[in-house]
Amino acid sequence: MVKLVNPITDFRIYYVGCISDFAGWIALLNGNQVAGYVYLSNKAQGPRLGGFGKYIVMSRPVAEFPFLFALLGSGRNMQITYHGDDAEGKNAIAFLEDVDGVNTPEDMRARMKDMSPGRSNRSSQRASRPSRK
């Protein structure tokens, strides 16, 4: 059994537009280290470990982006957790969680209402496009 828990202190959004059901990804950071990646894709992929077991990779449907943005931008202590038989994703689950408490659907709806694209509790978040060389 493999378990990895990485704290999340910040995040970056990389939006590429909807290309074959893929819209982009969210890089989850712990300081200046990668804690995980969340791919925004309508084609489901199971979670796995990347970077020789140092970070977690998971995918979520594109429609969940507003929920993820509200959760990550809430200013709460977050972490990404992976449980699986191996690093390649056999019988694996991965999830984002609020370390300080339970996120009920009502909590998330209230947070989403309070957040506008220009407002956030985290000063360093920003949307980016990958550079093209």
**Dist. CA 15–CA 25, nearest whole Å:** 7
Q: Give percent of the chain above pLDDT 70.
A: 74
Reported confidence tier of residue 27, pLDDT bands at 50, 70, 90: very high
**CA neighbours closer than 13 Å in the CB half-sphere of residue 127:** 11
Beta bridge partners of 36: 28, 56
Give the model confidence (pLDDT) of 77-88 as tens digits: 999 999 999 999
Sign of torsion, CA 116 122 126 127?
A: negative
pLDDT at 99 over 60: yes
Output the pLDDT for position 119: 43
Give the number of C-alpha atoms closer than 13 A to the C-alpha of residue 20, restricted to the C-beta side.
Answer: 0
